[in-house]
Amino acid sequence: MSQNAVAPKPTLAVAGLSKSYDKRRVVGPLDFSLEAGSVTGLLGGNGAGKTTTIGMVMGLIEPTQGSVHAFGCDMSRERYGALGRMNFESPYVDMPHRLTVRQNLRVFGMLYDVEDLNAKIEQLAKDLALGDFLDRQTGRLSAGQKTRVAIAKSLINDPQLLLLDEPTASLDPDTADWVRARLEAHRRTHNCAILLASHNMSEVERLCDRVLMLKDGTLVDDDSPASLLARYGRDTLEEVFLDVARGRVDGAPA
């Protein structure tokens, strides 16, 4: 890069982000950024702050302090400049139960102003095998079927920033495998930055080029899966996860 070249803005930049409830800090302060086309795992034990972090990035949870910039837009002041280019999947956000899957996808597609929406829904139904229940009420689906619908919803606007909160937690191993392949294809096609909260370490090893380790709401490590394995002297990310969760600090960054 020449001296005058300006570095491209990260897709997502989080600075000093924290959340407290009743003066008890549960997350932060967090500082990290995501580059276009990267897949970053957000790991941490139960209650570490993964869902709260994703909620703050999406603007679903109001931060106590700090800032979130997506595509250079300050999410506290100009979020509408960015929301159309991002999306999320979370098991904690339910869709209207009485609408059919197709109707729900239509509602979200219209919110995002998706062009040629019928064709988009057909394509997603094919990619995520929703065909058998596209015209059934969403509330009557199994957990795994609802998850596939939630993933379809998260892809409806071809996002370039995708936040996924345990996207394969309720899927059987075969379905989880092809859903991961679908997410990888989306990343490639749209140069999408993905933040993936997961308890599935083999999923993280397969999909992520970088891992953020959260413990008690703070970042305790940030590295590639390969470097984490080397530093902690472990063969699997699961072992690294246990080291971090149990406070074995040999591999922790200096």
Query: Which parts of this chain interact with ligand ATP (CB under 6 A)?
Result: 21, 26, 44, 46-52
Cβ-based neighbours of 246, under 8 Å, separated by 6 or more:
none
Considering the complex, what minimum distance in angstroms separates the CB of residue 25 from ligand ATP?
9
Considering the complex, what minimum distance in angstroms separates the CB of residue 22 from ligand ATP?
7
Closer CB to ligand ATP, 51 or 87, in the complex: 51
Closer CB to ligand ATP, 125 or 162, in the complex: 162
Closer CB to ligand ATP, 51 or 168, in the complex: 51
Alpha helix stretches (DSSP H) within the chain? 50-58, 101-111, 117-127, 143-155, 173-190, 201-207, 225-232, 237-245
Considering the complex, what minimum distance in angstroms separates the CB of residue 193 from ligand ATP?
20
Cα R_g (the chain), whole angstroms: 19
For residue 62, give the 3-state DSSP assignment. Answer: coil
Considering the complex, what minimum distance in angstroms separates the CB of residue 72 from ligand ATP?
26
Closer CB to ligand ATP, 107 or 245, in the complex: 245
Considering the complex, what minimum distance in angstroms separates the CB of residue 46 from ligand ATP?
3
Residue corresponding to tokens 């997961």:
198
- Residue 195 near residue 57 (C-beta atoms within 8 A): yes
Closer CB to ligand ATP, 16 or 47, in the complex: 47
Residue corresponding to tokens 């993905």:
194
